Amino acid sequence: MSLTDLSLTELANGIAKGDISSEETTQACIARIERMQPALNCFLSPEPEDALAAARKADDVGAQARAKGEKLGPLHGVPLAHKDMFYRKGKVCTGGTIIRRDFVPSYTSTLQSRLAKDGALCLGTLNMSEFCIGPTGHNLHYGPARNPWNTAHAPGGSSSGSGSAVAARLIHGSFGSDTGGSVRIPAALNGLVGLKPTQGRISRYGGVPLSFSLDCFGPLTRTVEDNARLLSSVAGTDPMDPTTSLEPLDDYEAACGQDPKGMRIGVPKSYGDVKVDDDVAAAVSAALKLYEGLGVEIVEVDVPDQAELNALSTIVTRSEAATIHRKWLLERRDDYSPQVRRRLEIGLVLPATRYVEGLTLRAYHLAEFGDAVLSKCDALLLPTVPIPAPTLAELDIGDSDTLPEMLLRLTGFTRPMNYLGVPSLSMPCGFSGSGLPVAFQLVGRPFAEATLYTLGGAYQHQTDWHTRSPE
């Protein structure tokens, strides 16, 4: 097994013991990036020299720490790369747009600071949908990232480069953002584990904003254990972000190995207006049978109308995004791609009454969802994306009138969870007939990420989907 095939936790533990060199691992990642970047276009700005220098230093620090019996950070020497939306002082942060092509922040995001404190390295910045808007992976300015399972197909967005790079074994993990599914969709379409945490679990200080009320940051990884380690590194309250929660953190890694026997998983009696592909439905059914074999009880639940939640989520997102972008829309309108511009400008004409209604109804809908679903089970299981990854050409529709239909096809099961603010974990669960990954998501109570990791870890310990990699 090559160094790039190791899971993040395997790599981190090996570096901590001195069995693996951070420099050798980083060199292996760089070689793979150089070979695959032309086909995948998942990086915006690789930083090989800086990463190698940091890796050499990490090896030296690691040797000194082991000699003194000192403990290293849980991510010490691990090369990562992230969606180009997290500020690093003195480094360009484009947000996937030409409007900020030369923007250099004067401070570092809390997320990047916490990862660095735990010893993680940065191999550069990753491609993304323009201003975090778009579930497909298209970017008119920098070109689309591509799905490594089939480069004609979409990697999903808006964290497109993160999904593509982690799946292709260029890096061992990545952070993206999730406002309507932008972590979980790339995770699903690329065969990865992706977490949208509870609103307020991770600080958003120093990240490119889209929707103040719905934005979340989350990890994309190959395994559930890797995901838990990354969440543990960055989660928790932050004085720089007053929206972060004071809710105590759990031992997320330990949760991955807990026995799920006696837990309950809810399944919807109906998927409503969202049509599920036969391959996805079959994989979800097989996952439910596996859980039954582990002693998990499967219960049917009446899920409240998801169409209403999708509509309210859209109102909130577009109103808040238009507020952020209003000045640029007036002064630099032509620097937006047509689809992104259309989605933003709709927010300029939405009545304030509809926006306030969208915000005030969240508490009601969360209570209704809790009573109807989460009071009856530990987690709800449903598809992450109802279809395997479409081709990039199929999704290249610009600002045509078919845009709402396309958005529903990709975000119909993810967007409602952002509106509710609840955690959701996307899990790879098989492949379509054409060889593309498919996935389910586990939706839990607020701040019940540990419960999702227990269920996700149990599933992954019985399957090998996460070990498979694209040619």
Q: How far apart are the first and last CA of the chain?
A: 15
User: Which backbone phi and psi does 218 adopt, to 5 degrees?
Assistant: -155, 160
Rounded Cα distance, 120 and 101, in Å:
25
Beta bridge partner(s), residue 380: 266, 443
Under a CB-based contact definition with an 8 Å cutoff, are residues 1 and 218 in contact?
no
Q: Which pair of structure tokens corresponds to residue 162? A: 């993160």
> Which one of the listed residues 22, 158, 164, 211 is annotated catalytic?
158
> Which one of the listed residues 7, 21, 22, 83 is annotated catalytic?
83
> Which one of the listed residues 182, 232, 426, 432 is annotated catalytic?
182
Rounded Cα distance, 449 and 228, in Å:
9
Rounded Cα distance, 323 and 331, in Å:
14
CB atoms within 10 A of CB 405: 10
Under a CB-based contact definition with an 8 Å cutoff, are residues 155 and 163 in contact?
yes
Helix (H, G, I), strand (E, B) or coil at 1: coil
Rounded Cα distance, 208 and 191, in Å:
26
b/e 351-368 (16+ beta carbons within 10 angstroms → b): eeeebeebeebbeebbee
Active site residue 182: yes
Beta bridge partner(s), residue 266: 299, 380
Rounded Cα distance, 54 and 70, in Å:
20
Active site residue 109: no
Active site residue 71: no
Q: What's the order of all strands across the beta sheet hosting 43-46?
A: 43-46, 121-126, 79-83
Active-site positions? 83, 158, 182
